Chain A
């Protein structure tokens, strides 16, 4: 079956615009995670879901960042009023259950001009 997919793969936007990043997890995977990776750095946790419930959003930098997974499958990470410091690779991962091995998507490279 297909792995984790993300879209778009690249997004260039102007400061102040809103962006929506999509993650399509492996079919049947209950847990879905969002991470952010700045250039040359390791990933950092943003938020995660079990089914449609957002379990932990402690890693979201501020209230411009939000995420949803309304039907327990596809998830969207939304960044409102983007700023240049939001530029990074945004990665999604999914796992069959909580505490299981995580499978990572290819990421969305966001550039805010």
Chain B
């Protein structure tokens, strides 16, 4: 089973700050997912990446397959970015459901 660790668990920052959330996993994977869970509970897929870097608006995700590590960055953070950010990876061994990290609870203060 893949062990997925995220840090930090909680992060409070001021509007405009550059945010970094880290994720590490123990088993080699085909792709890693970054998800956003809104305060209302809905889950939205942000990225699925297997190598290098992806960018969508102010969000950037990077992954280093050799080091089994991924980061999610938010540039020019805004209060509406406040949410729980979750990384998830396949468990390995041919199974295909995702194993989720515990999430990073991000609060951006105005």
List residues of chain A with CB under 8 Å of any chain B CB: 31, 33, 35, 41-48, 55-56, 58-59, 89, 91, 93, 98-104, 106-107
Q: Which residues of A contact B33 (CB under 8 A)?
A: 101-102
Answer whether residue B45 sits at the interface, using C-beta atoms and an 8 A cutoff: yes
List residues of chain B with CB under 8 Å of any chain A CB: 30-31, 33, 35, 41-45, 48, 86, 88, 90-91, 95-103
> CA–CA, A98 to B45, complex, Å?
15
- Known A44-B100, A99-B31; judge A56-B95 contact (CB<8 A): yes
B36 to chain A, nearest CB (A): 10
Judging by beta carbons under 8 Å apart, are B48 and A101 in contact? yes
- Give A48's nearest chain B residue, CB to CB: B97
- Known A41-B102, A42-B102; judge A102-B45 contact (CB<8 A): yes
> CA–CA, A33 to B100, complex, Å?
14
Q: Which residues of A contact B30 (CB under 8 A)?
A: 99
Judging by beta carbons under 8 Å apart, are A48 and B96 in contact? yes
Judging by beta carbons under 8 Å apart, are B45 and A101 in contact? yes
> CA–CA, A47 to B48, complex, Å?
20
Judging by beta carbons under 8 Å apart, are A42 and B97 in contact? no
From A31, A58, A59, A107, contact of B41 by CB (8 A): A107
> CA–CA, A83 to B91, complex, Å?
28
B63 to chain A, nearest CB (A): 15
Q: 11 additional contacts, CB 8 Å, given A41-B102, A42-B103, A44-B100?
A: A31-B96, A42-B101, A43-B86, A45-B98, A55-B96, A56-B95, A99-B30, A99-B31, A104-B43, A104-B45, A106-B41
Closest 7 CB pairs of A and B: A45-B97, A42-B100, A104-B43, A101-B48, A43-B100, A42-B102, A48-B97
- Give A50's nearest chain B residue, CB to CB: B96
- Give B87's nearest chain A residue, CB to CB: A42
